[in-house]
Amino acid sequence: MDVTYILILLLAGAFATYFSGDKWAPKVALFFSLIALGGSLCLLSQYNSGHEIGFIRLWISKPRIFFALQVDGLALAMLLLTTALTPIIIYSSFGNTYKNAKNFYALILFMTFAMAGTFLAADGFLYYIFWELALIPIYFIALLWGNGDAEERKKAVLKFFIYTLAGSLFMLVAFAYLYNKSGSFLVGDLTRLMLSSTEQFWIFLAFFLAYAIKIPLIPFHTWQATVYQKAPTVGTMLLSGIMLKMGLYSVLRWQLPIAPLAAKEYMYIFIGLGIAGVIYGSIVALRQKDLKKLLAYSSLAHVGLIAAGSYTLTLDGLRGAVLQMIAHGFVIVGLFFAAEIIFRRYETNSISEMGGIRSQSPKFTSMFMILVLASVALPSTFNFIGEFTVLYSLSQINIWFAILGGTTIIFGAYYMLKMFQHVMLGETNAKIFKDVTFNEGLSLVIIIAVLFFFGMYPKPIIDMITPSLENILLQINRFN
């Protein structure tokens, strides 16, 4: 199967959804998202069979820009994450009614198209186009279908858009400089450049500004919690489950191989920033009274640990980071969907206004509990594999990094279980909590099944991503 078919399917799906009308839009969007997932699984089969998968054509002759896509194990893992989560996110939205549904679901598929393109692009200019395209649909999804006060939502979304766009401009300048040095935007050509330590420092910093905002890392995180809170839950799931992985993936694909000297020289600083995010996100999560904001800061803590693992420049660190990216994508989507289920019944995200759900819906309580335990890296869940591998890599650099990074498990267990007690146990809310519907239950069961399956048997993903990560490490160590 040609890799371009995935992008064509998602783009065609966005247009088909738009022209299908409001009534059919959800079903058409789900259909195309499932077809895209099937296409990704076909690519996985080809990859496992040893076939070369890629696409390259000259797009613009001057400057030389290629429409180049690559499907190594790392890119394929992120593509599978994107195309697996998208139908779950779309299906989970069937319990809501959206005004102008055709626009809403078309934007979801267009955003998926842009995110998939970001993970597949092997030309820096093409990658930048996809990177920026992904920002447009989430801006409108959060702005037009968000919740809360309209003025506050507009301010939060505009801050997010400007902040992210400004950071990306530094990355564009870096690509322009690299093109002047190599005459190419292709990732293979850029990673072979023998840049001086000074050049690498500025290139590394330019990329870091773009990625730190998108991930986000402290102190570039100020947009996150409010946007996660104000966006509709579908938008929040797209942001937290997939979009923030664009920044983490790009650290491995572009930043580290192009500027390895700067990565090695300033390793401790960037690991420190990641661990600071772990501690800061956990402490702030302890104080939250809004369920979606608590989950937002929990996500901040987890991605800080992923970033710290990436900057260890070890195989275990890179592998643990990718495993945790995938695990975090599923668990955070599951948690935000659980929050949406509660909101549908109670019409509030305030934790103090919840309680007693266990007595009314034991099935939902059990599923929510599993997601909470997966979030705090209970052994046998996927998150445990990723977090343990990252913490092990940190211990190889400095045992104190592992100790401080490990606080995410301690803090996480405290604030997540405390939240569970307030939300699920205690006195029953005045409003009746109806049991989960078939659609809601199926979405949660699929997510839980993935978390347990790969928690018990992560080998397929490890085997898929390891060769790509070993190749990245060879590029990083080429100056040795």
In the predicted model, what is the mean pLDDT of residues 291-311? 93
What would the pLDDT profile of 25-58 be if each residue is shown by its tens digit? 999 999 999 999 999 999 999 998 888 788 999 9
Q: Where is pLDDT greater, at 39 or 222? A: 39
pLDDT, position 151: 85
Helix (H, G, I), strand (E, B) or coil at 123: strand
* Distance from the first to the final alpha carbon of the chain: 39
Distance set, CA 228 to CA 20, 95, 207, 331, 470 (Å): 29, 20, 24, 16, 35
Burial of 192 by CB count in 10 Å (0-12 exposed, 13-18 middle, 19+ buried)? middle
pLDDT, position 429: 66
Q: At what angle do helices 135-145 and 124-133 cross, to 10 degrees?
A: 0
In the predicted model, what is the mean pLDDT of residues 75-80? 96
CB atoms within 10 A of CB 478: 12
pLDDT, position 480: 66
Range with lowest mean pLDDT among 145-149, 172-176, 379-383, 444-448: 145-149
pLDDT at 303 over 80: yes
pLDDT at 421 over 80: yes
391: its two tokens: 């913490």
With tokens 């399956």, the residue in question is 453
In the predicted model, what is the mean pLDDT of residues 157-162? 91
Residues in the chain: 480
* CA-only gyration radius of the chain, Å: 21
pLDDT at 328 over 90: yes
Distance set, CA 232 to CA 138, 217, 460 (Å): 10, 23, 34
pLDDT, position 149: 78
In the predicted model, what is the mean pLDDT of residues 426-447? 85
| Separation of alpha carbons 406 and 92, rounded Å | 32
Q: Is 62 left (phi over 0), alpha (psi -120 to 50) or beta?
A: beta
In the predicted model, what is the mean pLDDT of residues 282-298? 91
pLDDT, position 323: 97
Bond into 216 cis (ω within 30) = yes
Is residue 222 within 8 A of residue 214, CB to CB? The reply is: no
